[in-house]
């Protein structure tokens, strides 16, 4: 019974998402670390739209605690708020995609 109670201890976010600035065509990576594995209903969002693992969007998990989102070949319209949700836990950060000036 004690083990069961301990296993139900709520996970917390140890290290949340950080605001990230990248240039058009680069990759942007966001990482969120949880205190322990086993949190269900993990989901990534960009401006309220759920993200799914594909060629452009890489979603990975390490040890069930470290959750990583990499957006490849970003464009200006990808700028927005990235949100990580794991059960009741939420962490958000801003993604700013900067264009490259042709005048430079």
Q: Is residue 7 part of a domain?
A: no
Number of Cβ atoms within 10 Å of the Cβ of 37: 12
Length of the chain: 104
**Mean pLDDT in runs of 10 for the chain (104 residues)?**
52 96 97 93 96 96 96 96 96 94 57
Q: Is residue 65 part of a domain?
A: yes
pLDDT at residue 10, rounded to an integer: 82
Q: Is residue 84 part of a domain?
A: yes
Sheet architecture: strand order including 13-15? 13-15, 28-34, 66-71, 57-62
Q: Is residue 104 part of a domain?
A: no
Q: Is residue 51 part of a domain?
A: yes
Domain CATH number, residue 79: 2.60.40.10
Domain holding 19, by residue range, is 13-98
pLDDT at residue 3, rounded to an integer: 46
How far apart, in Å, are the Cα atoms of 15 and each of 18, 29, 69, 90? 9, 14, 14, 11
Total domains in the chain come to: 1
């Amino acid at each position: 019974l004690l083990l069961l109670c301990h296993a139900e201890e709520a996970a917390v976010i140890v290290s949340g998402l950080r605001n990230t600035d990248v240039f058009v065509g680069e990759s942007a990576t966001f990482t969120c670390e949880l205190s322990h594995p086993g949190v269900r209903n993990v989901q990534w969002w960009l401006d309220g739209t759920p993200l799914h693992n594909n060629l452009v969007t890489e979603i990975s998990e390490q040890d069930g605690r470290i959750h990583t989102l990499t957006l490849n070949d970003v464009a200006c319209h990808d700028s927005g708020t990235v949100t990580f949700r794991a059960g009741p836990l939420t962490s958000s950060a801003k993604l700013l995609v900067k264009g490259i000036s042709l005048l430079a």
